[in-house]
Chain A
Amino acid sequence: MNNCSARIIVIVLSAISVYATGAYSADQDADTQILSFSGFGTLGEVHSSQDKADFTASIFQPNGAGYTHSWSSDVDSLIGGQLSANFAPKLSAVVQVIAEQNYDGSYTPHVEWANIRYQFTPDFSIRLGRAELPTFLFSDTRKVGYTYPWIRPPVEVYSLLPITASDGVHLSARFHLGDVTDTLQGSYVQSDTQQPNNNGVAIARDSFNLSNTAEYESLTFRVSYQHARLTISALDAFLDSFKTFGPQGVAIADKYNSDNKPVVTEVAGVSYDPGRWFVTSEWGHAYFDSFLGARTAWYVSGGYRAWKFTPYVTYSEGSASSNSDRGLTLTGLSPPLRGLATGLNAGLNSLLESIPTQKTVSLGVRWDFLKNIDLKLQADHTRLGADSSGTLINLQPGFLPGGTVNLFSATIDLVF
């Protein structure tokens, strides 16, 4: 044997039979730490070519790149810390705190997750408290940039359900069916999320969530379903003014308000990642029985890993099923009322146009230049739907719906 330069790895067990009943108890792992701390962070800069509106990564951010800042570090930058505690072999707790741009523009840290988990068996657990909803493939760690190839998960799809943490009961059961690992998660939760620009609180109640993730070798497949009741009061005053126009106005107000109205979200995602390359695609549909309307979005993304570089390309699009309304009938109204009705109709339609309709092509590269730090560069070319402002916010006078927006983003992600 002269080719000993090639290392051979062998996987080994101790020679003692695994059936031996020694002093060591199999269920008791003496090396498990009681407390462990982990952290993550992203430092990012984004530039937008559209200076009459802001690009943000989430509707819960008050401002971003474009109008407010030519280059914004507020869109992607954040830092988070997580403390895990193992009180007993089956009982553990997790607290995660994140500092990021809040609804009011501050960076005051908030408790993203805080839950207690009881592990009935290695494959069945219950969590009580605040946790993520496993809606999309990357929902679980959407704030940890290091865990995915892109600067941020495609906004068209991930904006369908922007809430990242919910309070309640979360159940998880894992099954092994041959070589397939199947994880079924269910939860009953609620959430209160502060919205920017004095828009009050988005209140989600009676939220039932079901998510199934099947993993087979390099293939991951997830489907999820959510049903909740959503209250957003910010537009109540505007919609109530329709009611002065009689039954037609009352019908319009009732149709578009979001007063404890149902929301249904369905998502399917698949990822194939054999190591050297990956391809990921997700499709989602959200139906809001309110001014938020019905939205469908999907993306497909692929990348190739060459040494420490992962170049990738993504195509993503989001559409709204209906984004206009004839509004109040003007015929038969007196001139002053007609003026008011015309104004309300215009207001309603500009509201419906804000439902994002857009298509984006993204090109980017991730560079794993240190063992726990990456650098990413990404260019996005977005074409807004006709009459739509897409996911843009803070629209300024002179902003024209439709058209194109170019974004350039750079981030450094780390985990520690």
Chain B
Amino acid sequence: MDIFLGRRTRFPDGSSAVPIDQIEGSPIREEFYTRLAEMSPAQIKAFWSKVIFTGRGQPPITVATAAEAKKLLSTNPNAISYVDQTLVDSSLRVVLAP
């Protein structure tokens, strides 16, 4: 979660992390933040507004569809994202399935 909220920029092994968010308003994004951070879409928006308007950073790259997320994940070994369980295949490595 710290990676998605910009608090950490590296994986525990030291390699840099590139989080990929699903588009705002998508049910998967809402569920991801609600379940893992207990934050509503408005709270996430307020959180990133705080970061942006202090010039401390920008929110993660956003993709419109799960297919796009998978494409980015397959081309960038440092990318991390979240998808619906039904979309998991051999091209993805699951690190957490709460």
Q: Is the CB of A276 within 8 A of B38?
A: yes
Those 9 A-B pairs whose CB atoms lie nearest each other, nearest first: A275-B38, A94-B55, A368-B42, A8-B85, A122-B9, A140-B54, A12-B92, A11-B96, A14-B73
Q: Is the CB of B58 within 8 A of A84?
A: yes
Digit string of A213-251 for contact with B (CB within 8 Å is 1, else 0)?
001000000000000000000000000000000000000
Is A169 on the interface with B (CB-CB < 8 A)? Answer: no
Residues on the B chain within 8 Å of A36, using CB: 58
Q: Is the CB of B49 within 8 A of A7?
A: no
CA of A117 to CA of B7, assembled, Å? 18
Q: List 19 A-B contacts (CB under 8 A).
A: A9-B36, A9-B83, A10-B96, A11-B96, A13-B73, A14-B73, A14-B77, A18-B77, A22-B77, A36-B58, A82-B53, A122-B10, A143-B53, A147-B53, A274-B38, A275-B37, A276-B38, A305-B43, A415-B49
Please give me the residue from chain B that is nearest to A27 by CB atom: B16
Digit string of B1-35 for contact with A (CB within 8 Å is 1, else 0)?
01000011111010110100000110110011001
Q: Is the CB of B31 within 8 A of A9?
A: yes
Please give me the residue from chain A that is nearest to B76 by CB atom: A24
CA of A393 to CA of B58, assembled, Å? 39
If over half of B's interface residues share one DSSP class (helix, strand or loop), that class is named, otherwise mixed; here it is mixed
Residues on the A chain within 8 Å of B28, using CB: 7, 9
Is A199 on the interface with B (CB-CB < 8 A)? Answer: no
Residues on the B chain within 8 Å of A20, using CB: 77
Q: State how many angstroms separate the Cβ of A277 from the closest Cβ of chain B.
A: 10
Q: Number of B interface residues, CB 8 Å?
A: 59
Q: Is the CB of A18 within 8 A of B13?
A: yes
CA of A20 to CA of B10, assembled, Å? 16
Q: Is the CB of A11 within 8 A of B38?
A: no
CA of A300 to CA of B10, assembled, Å? 35
Interface-centre pick from B38, B77, B81, B95 (highest chain A CB count, 10 A): B77
User: Which of B9, B42, B93 sits near A308, CB closer than 8 Å?
Assistant: B42
Q: Is the CB of A31 within 8 A of B61?
A: yes
Residues on the B chain within 8 Å of A16, using CB: 74, 77
Chain B residues with a Cβ under 8 A of chain A: 2, 7-11, 13, 15-16, 18, 24-25, 27-28, 31-32, 35-43, 45-46, 49-50, 52-55, 58, 61, 73-86, 88, 90-98
Q: Is the CB of A12 within 8 A of B53?
A: no
Q: State how many angstroms separate the Cβ of A10 from the closest Cβ of chain B.
A: 4
Is A146 on the interface with B (CB-CB < 8 A)? Answer: yes
Residues on the B chain within 8 Å of A67, using CB: none
CA of A19 to CA of B13, assembled, Å? 10
Q: Is the CB of A40 within 8 A of B55?
A: no
Residues on the A chain within 8 Å of B79, using CB: 13-14
CA of A117 to CA of B28, assembled, Å? 35
Is A181 on the interface with B (CB-CB < 8 A)? Answer: yes
Q: Is the CB of B97 within 8 A of A10?
A: yes
User: Which of A15, A96, A215 sits near B92, CB closer than 8 Å?
Assistant: A15
Please give me the residue from chain A that is nearest to B29 by CB atom: A9
Q: Is the CB of B50 within 8 A of A9?
A: no
Residues on the A chain within 8 Å of B9, using CB: 122-123
Please give me the residue from chain A that is nearest to B37 by CB atom: A275
User: Which of A14, A18, A82 sits near B11, CB closer than 8 Å?
Assistant: A18
Is A254 on the interface with B (CB-CB < 8 A)? Answer: no
Q: Is the CB of B84 within 8 A of A13?
A: no
Residues on the B chain within 8 Å of A31, using CB: 61
CA of A415 to CA of B35, assembled, Å? 25
CA of A141 to CA of B36, assembled, Å? 25
